[in-house]
Amino acid sequence: MTDHPRAVKLLLNIAHALDHLFLLIFATAVASIASEFGFSRWEDLMPYGVGAFFLFGVGSLPAGKLGDSWGRRQMMLTFFFGIGIASLLTAIVTNAWQLAAALTLIGAFASIYHPVGIPMLIQNARNPGATIGMNGLAGNLGVAAAAILTGLLIKWVGWRAAFAVPGVIAIACGVVFAKVCPRETEAPAKRSKKAPVSLSPADMARAFLVMTIAAITASLLFNFTTNGNGHLLEERFRGIVSDPAWLGVLLALVYVVASFSQLIVGRLIDRYPIKRLFLWILVAQAPVLFVAAYAQGWWLYGLLILTMILIFGAIPFTDAMIARYIDDRLRSRVSGVRLAVSFGISSLAVWLLGPVVKAAGFQTLLTAMAVIALVTLSAVLFLPEER
Of the candidate ranges 1-10, 17-26, 53-62, 109-118, the one whose mean pLDDT is the lowest: 1-10
Contact 266, 128 (CB under 8 A): no
Say how far apart CA 49 and CA 365 lie, in whole Å.
19
Q: Taking all residues of the chain, what is their mean pLDDT, rounded to a whole number? A: 86
Of the candidate ranges 196-205, 214-223, 257-266, 319-328, the one whose mean pLDDT is the lowest: 196-205
Closest residue by Cα to residue 170 from 141, 142, 131, 135: 142
Domain for residue 96, yes or no? yes
**CATH, residue 371:** 1.20.1250.20
Q: State the pLDDT at residue 76.
A: 96
Domain for residue 357, yes or no? yes
Burial, 198: exposed, middle or buried (Cβ in 10 Å; 0-12, 13-18, 19+)? exposed
- Say whether pTM exceeds 0.85: no
Name the packing angle between helices 201-236 and 6-36 (round to 10°): 50
Question: How many domains are there within the chain?
Answer: 1
- Give the residue numbers spanning the domain of 199: 6-380
What are the backbone angles phi and psi of residue 367, rounded to the nearest 5°?
A: -65, -40
Over residues 125-137, the pLDDT tens digits come to: 788 888 888 988 8
Say how far apart CA 42 and CA 52 lie, in whole Å.
17
Q: State the pLDDT at residue 350.
A: 67
Over residues 68-85, the pLDDT tens digits come to: 888 899 999 999 999 999
Domain for residue 385, yes or no? no
Closest residue by Cα to residue 82 from 99, 105, 104: 105
Domain for residue 386, yes or no? no
Over residues 136-169, the pLDDT tens digits come to: 888 878 877 877 788 788 888 899 999 999 999 9
Domain for residue 94, yes or no? yes
Question: Given a cut of 60, is residue 387 above it in pLDDT?
Answer: no
Q: State the pLDDT at residue 77.
A: 97
Residue type, 246: W
Domain for residue 148, yes or no? yes
More confident residue, 358 or 8: 8
Domain for residue 387, yes or no? no
10 Å Cβ neighbour count for 262?
24
Domain for residue 300, yes or no? yes
